[in-house]
């Protein structure tokens, strides 16, 4: 029995496939194409990627199932979903904090996400103008660095991206969103395959594969394990309620384990493909894999500058990355938005605009991190952007996942879980083991290990 009834007041996905596309749209984004390669590069490749994959399969997939089932059970915003679940299972209201922390994490993430997505939008124009034809590694780096130096340019694109996101979110669940995802996601996939075909011809492909899949633990630093876990949460959109919010709109006839597995696999395939493409270019051109956030914006232009029809492919590619970012960004806003609409009976579009303005202001901190505040260091060697990224991805998301695992595994009645998941009892027990023990202890172990290593120097 679904506590919240058959449908959500915010709308419903028109089919289970629409849910798969929407959740995959949320999962596949800058996290796969921009963040995964650069974080993997910064942390030495192979061993990092192994830990990342383990986190996806042992922690990410089970927690994603937990988020979807909670959302579908109550069919409200994450905060109200938790409220209801706490009431029916007579648990402590403290669990509702998971929802509040998620709303905060969503704001923080979206604030920098919009800035980076703005870079991709700018690169649509820059690439279309033929800037990268025959460019060298230094040339591509120079283009990128001079772009970063201009706060006004970054703000312009950040603003455009926020307007686009708010506009789509304001229109509601079905509307334009479904259409955009249906057309653009497959296109992005095809273009990645084209790029992969190019990567094989660069001569750097073998080295890229070796960099990514040879597990040398010595290459991974102290924070590598934590970074891998954070990336797993980030790329699957887990730990802050985005997937829970989307779960509220899932029709009852969809299989939670089935859809979640497809979503996670799609996301993983895209990340690995993007990694292979980017590292092939890195090694073919004698570049450094550990270049930080600029990695994608320096390597891909090199490829587009060399390959036949590169200007065309490059332009289309950055268009698709920008759209992949939009379909992710809307899911960062949805939990807070749905909550405010429920609490105050507010108009969706008004709430969307207000939230967009707040996020935009916070995003200025990230804009300035790459120019006028580049030398302002907070907590260690971190810029404002680095700190926000670390705090959300490496702390808040895994912590949210840990708590969700405990809540679903230990607090919710087994009957509710069994009804939602409809798995044979062996599978149900395996899943329960993962959410009760493996996910929480896994996150906890990584936290403690990192603190311990950091304290030891
Ligand atoms: N998963 C997206 C990406 O890889 C980013 C994202 C969207 C996200 N919604 C989220 C990350 C919720 C964490 C939580 O680009």
C-alpha pair distances (Å), 46 with each of 31, 213, 221, 299: 18, 5, 12, 20
Which band of pLDDT confidence, cut at 50, 70 and 90, is reported for residue 185? confident
Judge whether 4 lies within some domain. no
In this prediction, what percent of the chain has a pLDDT beyond 70?
Answer: 97
DSSP 309: T
Residue 257 has pLDDT above 80, yes or no: yes
273 lines ligand 1 (CB under 6 A): no
Please give the structure tokens belonging to residue 429.
Answer: 């027990």
CATH number reported for the structural domain that contains residue 161 in this entry:
1.10.4160
Say how many domains are in the chain: 1
Counting from 1 in the atom list of ligand 1, the atom nearest the Cα of 36 is 4
What phi and psi values does residue 411 have, to the nearest 5 degrees?
Answer: -100, -45
Residue 12 has pLDDT above 50, yes or no: yes
Say what the pLDDT of residue 175 is: 66
Which band of pLDDT confidence, cut at 50, 70 and 90, is reported for residue 4? low
3-state class percentages of the chain: helix first, strand second, coil last, to nearest 5:
80, 0, 20
Ligand 1: residue whose CA is nearest its atom 4: 31
63 lines ligand 1 (CB under 6 A): no
Judge whether 181 lies within some domain. yes
Please give the structure tokens belonging to residue 383.
Answer: 């810029």
Say what the pLDDT of residue 18 is: 87
27 lines ligand 1 (CB under 6 A): yes
**Residue from 109, 229, 231, 232 to probe ligand 1 pocket by mutation (most atoms less than 8 Å from CB):** 109
Q: Cβ(72)–Cβ(251) under 8 Å?
A: no
235 lines ligand 1 (CB under 6 A): yes
Which band of pLDDT confidence, cut at 50, 70 and 90, is reported for residue 1? very low
Residue 232 has pLDDT above 90, yes or no: yes
What is the average pLDDT across 229-252?
97
What is the average pLDDT across 31-49?
96
Structural domain harbouring 198: 16-455
Ligand 1: residue whose CA is nearest its atom 13: 237
29 lines ligand 1 (CB under 6 A): yes
**Residue from 24, 104, 238, 328 to probe ligand 1 pocket by mutation (most atoms less than 8 Å from CB):** 328
What is the average pLDDT across 1-5?
52
Say what the pLDDT of residue 141 is: 95
Furthest-apart CA pair in the chain: how many Å?
Answer: 65
Tokens 């991190």 identify what position? 369
Judge whether 442 lies within some domain. yes
Tokens 């419903």 identify what position? 12
Q: What is the CA radius of gyration of the chain?
A: 21
Residue spans of beta strands (DSSP E) within 254-354: none
Nearest to 445 by CA among 235, 228, 237: 228
Say what the pLDDT of residue 128 is: 97
Residues 80-134 have pLDDT tens digits of: 999 999 999 999 999 999 999 999 999 999 999 999 999 999 999 999 999 999 9
Ligand 1: residue whose CA is nearest its atom 10: 237
Q: Which residues contact 432 (CB under 8 A, 6 or more apart)?
A: 409, 414, 417
**Residue from 246, 331, 388, 401 to probe ligand 1 pocket by mutation (most atoms less than 8 Å from CB):** 331
DSSP 239: S
Say what the pLDDT of residue 379 is: 82
* Terminal alpha carbon distance of the chain: 53
Judge whether 285 lies within some domain. yes
Judge whether 189 lies within some domain. yes
Spatial distance between the Cα atoms of 369 and 374, rounded to a whole number of angstroms: 5
Going from the Cα of 28 to the center of ligand 1, the distance in angstroms, rounded, reads 8
240 lines ligand 1 (CB under 6 A): yes
Judge whether 207 lies within some domain. yes
Q: Which is more confident, 216 or 72?
A: 72
Say what the pLDDT of residue 145 is: 96
Spatial distance between the Cα atoms of 101 and 78, rounded to a whole number of angstroms: 11
Which band of pLDDT confidence, cut at 50, 70 and 90, is reported for residue 277? very high
Say what the pLDDT of residue 456 is: 79
Q: Cβ(255)–Cβ(79) under 8 Å?
A: no
Say what the pLDDT of residue 14 is: 86
What is the average pLDDT across 233-246?
97
Counting from 1 in the atom list of ligand 1, the atom nearest the Cα of 105 is 14
What is the average pLDDT across 293-318?
93
Judge whether 2 lies within some domain. no
24 lines ligand 1 (CB under 6 A): no
268 lines ligand 1 (CB under 6 A): no
Going from the Cα of 300 to the center of ligand 1, the distance in angstroms, rounded, reads 22
Going from the Cα of 240 to the center of ligand 1, the distance in angstroms, rounded, reads 9
Q: Cβ(409)–Cβ(132) under 8 Å?
A: no
**Hey, what long-range contacts does 85-88 have (CB within 8 A, 24 or more apart)?**
85/407, 85/411, 85/412, 88/3
Residue 302 has pLDDT above 90, yes or no: yes
Spatial distance between the Cα atoms of 117 and 178, rounded to a whole number of angstroms: 20
Q: Would the pTM count as exceeding 0.85?
A: yes
Q: Cβ(221)–Cβ(44) under 8 Å?
A: yes
Residue 225 has pLDDT above 60, yes or no: yes
Spatial distance between the Cα atoms of 147 and 133, rounded to a whole number of angstroms: 18
Going from the Cα of 129 to the center of ligand 1, the distance in angstroms, rounded, reads 30
Mean pLDDT, rounded, of the chain:
94
Say what the pLDDT of residue 238 is: 98
Spatial distance between the Cα atoms of 241 and 80, rounded to a whole number of angstroms: 11
Judge whether 10 lies within some domain. no
Going from the Cα of 396 to the center of ligand 1, the distance in angstroms, rounded, reads 13
SS3 89: coil
Counting from 1 in the atom list of ligand 1, the atom nearest the Cα of 34 is 15
Other residues' Cβ atoms within 10 Å of the Cβ of residue 446: 22
Say what the pLDDT of residue 2 is: 46
Q: Cβ(328)–Cβ(106) under 8 Å?
A: no
Say what the pLDDT of residue 5 is: 62
What is the average pLDDT across 265-288?
95
77 lines ligand 1 (CB under 6 A): no
Residues 394-446 have pLDDT tens digits of: 999 999 999 999 999 999 999 999 999 999 999 999 999 999 999 999 999 99
Counting from 1 in the atom list of ligand 1, the atom nearest the Cα of 240 is 14
């Amino acid at each position: 029995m679904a506590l919240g009834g058959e449908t959500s007041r915010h709308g419903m996905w028109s089919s289970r496939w629409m849910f798969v596309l929407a959740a995959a749209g949320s999962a596949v984004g800058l996290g796969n194409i921009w963040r995964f390669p650069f974080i993997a590069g910064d942390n030495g490749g192979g061993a990092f990627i192994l830990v990342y994959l383990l986190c996806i399969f042992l922690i990410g997939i089970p927690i994603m199932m937990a988020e979807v089932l909670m959302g579908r059970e109550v069919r409200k915003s994450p905060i109200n979903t938790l409220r209801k679940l706490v009431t029916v299972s007579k648990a402590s209201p403290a669990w509702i904090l998971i929802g509040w922390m998620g709303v905060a994490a969503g704001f923080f993430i979206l604030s920098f996400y919009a800035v980076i997505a703005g870079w991709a939008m700018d690169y649509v124009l820059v690439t279309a103008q033929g800037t990268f034809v025959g460019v060298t590694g230094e040339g591509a780096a120079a283009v990128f660095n001079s772009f970063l130096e201009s706060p006004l340019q970054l703000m312009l694109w950040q603003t455009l991206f926020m307007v686009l996101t708010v506009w789509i979110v304001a229109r509601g669940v079905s509307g334009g969103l479904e259409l955009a995802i249906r057309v653009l996601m497959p296109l992005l996939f095809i273009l990645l395959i084209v790029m992969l075909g190019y990567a094989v011809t660069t001569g750097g492909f073998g080295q890229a594969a070796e960099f990514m899949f040879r597990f040398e633990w010595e290459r991974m630093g102290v924070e590598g394990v934590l970074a891998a876990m954070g990336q797993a949460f980030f790329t699957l959109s887990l730990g802050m309620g985005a997937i829970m919010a989307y779960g509220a709109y899932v029709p009852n006839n969809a299989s939670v384990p089935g859809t979640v597995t497809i979503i996670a696999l799609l996301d993983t395939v895209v990340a690995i493909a993007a990694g292979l493409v980017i590292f092939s270019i890195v090694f073919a051109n004698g570049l450094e894999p550990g270049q930080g956030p600029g990695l994608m914006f320096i390597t891909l232009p090199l490829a587009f500058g060399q390959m036949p029809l590169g200007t065309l492919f490059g332009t289309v590619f950055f268009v698709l990355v920008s759209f992949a970012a939009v379909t992710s960004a809307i899911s960062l806003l949805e939990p807070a938005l749905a909550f405010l609409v429920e609490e105050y009976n507010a108009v969706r579009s008004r709430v969307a605009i207000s939230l967009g303005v707040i996020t935009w202001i916070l995003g200025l901190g990230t804009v300035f991190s790459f120019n006028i505040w580049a030398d302002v260091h907070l907590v260690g060697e971190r810029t404002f952007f680095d700190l926000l990224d670390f705090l959300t991805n490496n702390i808040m998301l895994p912590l949210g996942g840990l708590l969700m695992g405990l809540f679903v595994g230990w607090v919710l009645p087994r009957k509710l879980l069994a009804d939602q998941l409809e798995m044979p009892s062996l599978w149900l027990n395996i899943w329960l083991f993962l959410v009760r023990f493996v996910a929480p202890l896994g996150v906890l172990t990584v936290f403690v290990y990192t603190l311990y290593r950091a304290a030891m120097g």
